[in-house]
Amino acid sequence: MLKTVQSAILQYSPLAILPPLIIAGIGFKNYTRAYKVLSLHLLIVSILSAIAVLLWHMKQNNLPLLHIYTGVEFVMVTWFYSYILEELIPRKVLMTGCIAFVAFSLINALWIQSWFTFNTLPRSIESLWVICLTLTCYYKMLSELKIRKMERSPVFWINTGFFFYFSGALFLFALSNYILSLNHQLNIYVWTLHACFSILLYLFIFLGLCNYRNR
């Protein structure tokens, strides 16, 4: 029974992105720049995830794609927050961070961690970076006191999704290669948990985009 549930979660978790992607497509024309960036992020992630799943079913190593995915995700999420936090953090600072991260990721793939292994260093650094952005966003919301009912704020839901996902996944990213070397079954448990974090992330983004439409 447990293996059946694990298999279902791992197999169908990539579909969790479809509801927020559909909502984003419907409301795209009316979005501000921040939400248009988020919508573009969802589209790119959907395409890369589909390719990764296809490679997996073909029994091909899809880890090189993960190296690319990590860089794209870092840039897109930071770009989104560059609009949300523009009053607190200069956009040039965040964009400089993007350039530095992409450069480091390339160096990591070429000389530190091969394209064909899990890129634990960039994934861990990305997680810490996004966690800092989410905490800054919480600070902004609380200090401005413009939002009386947080549950009606699109930013609150989306920010919470990113916070929970990257906070929960940080440990998994940092130790994934070590865990894999210990026990294959344990590794499956860990990535099932990661799939649950992904589902939670896209659920929160979906709620945020729904709240944007209902403002």
Q: Does 10 have pLDDT greater than 80?
A: no
The total number of residues shown for the chain amounts to 215
What is the model's pLDDT at position 184? 66
What is the model's pLDDT at position 192? 86
Q: Cα–Cα distance between 124 and 122 in angstroms, integer?
A: 5
Nearest to 88 by CA among 120, 134, 57: 134
Residue percentage of the chain with pLDDT more than 70: 89
| 8 A C-beta contact, residue 150 and residue 156 | yes
Establish how many alpha carbons lie within 13 A of residue 110's alpha carbon, considering only the half-sphere containing its beta carbon. 6
Average pLDDT, the chain: 90
| 8 A C-beta contact, residue 133 and residue 77 | yes
What is the model's pLDDT at position 57? 83
What is the model's pLDDT at position 160? 97
Please give the structure tokens belonging to residue 160: 């919470």
Radius of gyration of the chain (CA): 17
Tokens 């979906």 belong to residue: 206
Count other Cβ atoms within 10 Å, centred on residue 111: 8
Please, which pLDDT band fits residue 13 given cuts at 50, 70 and 90?
A: confident
Contacts 24+ apart (CB under 8 A), 82-86: 83/32, 83/33, 83/34, 83/37, 84/34, 84/137, 84/140, 84/155, 84/159, 85/133, 85/136, 85/137, 85/140
Nearest to 136 by CA among 194, 92, 78: 78
Q: Cα–Cα distance between 96 and 143 in angstroms, integer?
A: 26
User: pLDDT, tens digit, for every residue of 168-184?
Assistant: 988 887 776 666 666 66
Query: Where does residue 155 rank: exposed (0-12), middle (13-18), buried (19+ CB within 10 A)?
Result: buried
Question: Stretch 147-153: mean pLDDT, rounded?
Answer: 72
Please, which pLDDT band fits residue 4 given cuts at 50, 70 and 90?
A: confident
Count other Cβ atoms within 10 Å, centred on residue 91: 14
